[in-house]
Structure 1
Amino acid sequence: MAPAALKPVQELLQDGTVPEKYLQQFEDDTRLNQDCPLPLMDGLIIDCSLLSSSSPKELEKIRSVLSTWGCFQLVNHGMTSEMLDEVRDMSKQFFRLPLEEKEKYSSKGDSLEGYGNDNAIRDGNFNWNDKLHLQVYPEHRQQLQFWPETPLNFRATLHEYSNKIKQISELLLKAMARSLELEENRFFELWGDDKEDIIHARFNFYPCCPTANRVVGLKPHTDGSAITILLQDKEVEGLQVLKDGQWFRVPIIPDALVIHVADQLEC
């Protein structure tokens, strides 16, 4: 039997108890104080269609929100509600599969790609989270043995979605450069190489927990990429961001993508 660090979190639920390694200490953590709910990260919305038209007002807005918050919600990005729902649904369908089916795509060794969790390579207490992590670009480096064949539409949908995300990334990198009065391709030349620069897709699943007030889906962290583009669940809020020592809840906005400037672009 696999050690707890290597087991999918869904499998741990069959034992009826949460292993101690998943239990967190929250005495001084205001993020979980139910008597004082966190404020919302409100009003940080960028219209992608205006970025495409190089609207001076929208470029100034993106410069402002990125220099103060480092993140925003992107609307009018060109992906339909139906497509975003399909991405969410196929993720949920995959995690509902029997364990033996999901394990066909399990991560191997210390590879990030595949199904499972990252707990074996993390310090401290574990995340209450299972994941499916796939490299989607460059296409010649895709490891398709980790790409699920069930549900049947998974591969085609992920390919279509990833292509749209790639286009949005290019637009954003160019808009960010223009907002700083830099040459448009300044950032895109650093992170837009079709043959070298990597784009990953990661699907996160947070199973219901009998001691939900003692676990964390993903511990506070930064992303090591240039930018992160995140599609939230339509119904369950949970994403939080830290600004000036204060945690804020990220609201659910229908069809919006959460854009986060990651370590490689942050300065």
Structure 2
Amino acid sequence: MQKTVQELVTVSNGDRDLDLETVPERFIREAVKEGQQQGAEGGEVPLVDVPVIDLSLLPLSHPPASPEADAELQSFHRALTSWGCIQKRRYLRADNGIEGYGTDMVLSDHQVLDRNDRLSLFVYPEDCCKLEYWPQIPETFREILHEYTLKLRDIVDAVFKAMATSLNLHSNVFLQAFRGKVTLIARFNYYPQCPRPELVYGLKPHADGSAITVVLPDREVGGLQFLKDDNWVKIPIIPHALLINVGDQVEIMSNGVFKSPMHRVIPSSDHGRISLAMFCAPDAEEEIGPVSELVDESRPRLYKNVKDYPKIYFHHYQQGKRPIDAVKL
């Protein structure tokens, strides 16, 4: 059975208290060990606003029904092409409505570990759910997660349609690549407080292997950072907003129009942090590739067709490589 971060720290530190200015070597970044960086790459990471989109205004087909809808669609398109992520403030509904546990996959004794604990669960389609991994306490956990998953399906469909509409394509062009076989994996993340956060990663720099990822962030504790114009920037906490970011598979399907952004998590020295990430992707057996309408002489094909991208992703990710580079032409 995998140990929690707290157990790993206790083993490394012996009987010393966890709040001492000590971080086990297993968690210290390689660049810090080699003296190449101090703190967050040598300086304070700025807080930068990520575009906030009102999903209820986004048109899901062409043309937009109002100037407001058209303006929101243009903002949505600019956000995904320049950032690769948005913060979503509203749901598509009336105003009155409102696999298993573990840490890093350890492949060697010298691997630098992320400082977090995770619970990953297949949540959709329902016949893929392994309920033996689902917590039974609190008693309402399964019911609430199931309801959240169904509502998120509506959001995911709306985002894919808005992506297509923003490119003047048929609204279902990205959804058709799924052939009706959408998979959703929920990952609950706990990042314990760390006495020396500048030495470690809560989650190492990476881009997601999903099509899109929807994150329900901690309401009070930040830590998520994105790489923007070769500089790391902090993402602000916006109450009642979800963070939606592009994954590698949408970058492939959009032929590079929408980019899968690099991001990371830095733990807090004062508080633990909790988040829920929902990864949406096609069924592993479905082949994906650039949408034909986005390939022409001015924008040649950039990616191969690929099946089971998650397998490719994890193979290269654990080697410290950018997985999407393996499917570039």
From 110, 113, 131, the counterpart of 1:144: 131
Alignment of 1:106-145 (within 5 A): 113-121=99-107, 124-145=111-132
Q: Map Cα deviations across residues 83-126 of structure 1 (whole Å, 9 max, x no partner).
A: 99xxxxxxxxxxxxxxxxxxxxxxxxxxxx20111231488311
Alignment partners' CA distance in 2, 1:160 and 1:7: 30
Please tell me whether residue 23 in structure 1 is matched to residue 9 in structure 2.
no
Is 1:187 the equivalent of 2:187?
no
Q: Deviations over 1:151-188 (max 9, x none)?
A: 11111111011111111000000000000001000011
The alignment's C-alpha RMSD in Å is: 2.5
For the 8 Å contact 1:133–1:203, the answer to whether it is kept is yes
Deviates more, 1:246-255 or 1:71-80: 71-80
Structure 1 SS opposite 2:204: coil
Q: What's the offset of the Cα at 1:10?
A: 2.5
SS at match of 1:135: strand
Superposed, which structure 2 residues align to 1:37-48 within 5 Å? 37-48=44-55
- In the other structure, the counterpart of 1:72 is 86
Q: 1:234 to 1:198 in 2, by over 3 A?
A: same
Equivalent position of 2:192 in the other structure: 207
Alpha carbons of structure 1 residues 15 and 121: separation in structure 2 relative to 1, 3 Å? closer
**Are 1:219 and 2:216 an aligned pair?**
no
Aligned pair count?
230
CA–CA distance in 2 between the matches of 1:31 and 1:169? 36
Q: TM-score, with normalisation over the residues of structure 1?
A: 0.78
Is contact 1:191–1:226 with CA below 8 Å preserved after alignment? no
2:246 equivalent in structure 1:
261
Q: Which residue pairs with 1:109 in the alignment?
A: none
Q: Give the Cα–Cα distance (whole angstroms) in 2 for the partners of residues 13 and 126 of structure 1.
A: 11
Which stretches in structure 2 are left out of the alignment for 5+ residues? 14-22, 257-329
Q: Paired residue for 1:234, among 213, 219, 223?
A: 219
Structure 1 residues 117, 60: CA separation in 2 closer, same or farther (over 3 Å shift)? same
Is residue 166 of structure 1 aligned with residue 153 of structure 2? yes
Q: What amino acid sits opposite 1:252 in the alignment? A: I
- Residue 28 of structure 1: CA displacement? 4.4
Partner of residue 5, structure 2: 9
Residue by residue over 1:208-267, the C-alpha shift from the partner in whole angstroms, topping out at 9 and shown as x without a partner, is: 233333221000001111000011101111000112211111100001111100000111
- What percent identity do the matched residue pairs reach? 43
**Long gaps (5+) in structure 1:** 85-112
Structure with higher helix content: 1
* CA distance in structure 2 between the partners assigned to 1:114 and 1:161 by the alignment: 19
TM-score when normalising by structure 2 = 0.64
Question: Which has the larger Rg?
Answer: 2
The amino acid of 2:240's aligned partner reads D
- Cα 1:14–1:211 change in 2 (3 A) is same
- In 1, distance between residues paired with 2:179 and 2:84? 20
Q: Distance in 1 between matches of 2:92 and 2:201?
A: 33
Over 3 Å counting, the alpha-carbon distance change for 1:143 and 1:240 in structure 2 is: same
Contact 1:31 1:247 in 2 (8 A): no
Contact kept? 1:170, 1:192, Cα under 8 Å? no
Using CA pairs under 8 Å that are at least 6 residues apart, name the structure with larger relative contact order, 1 or 2. 1
Go from structure 1 to structure 2 and tell me whether the alpha carbon gap of 1:52 and 1:154 turns closer, same or farther (over 3 Å shift).
farther
Pick the aligned partner of 1:51 from 25, 49, 58. Answer: 58
Partner of 1:245: 230
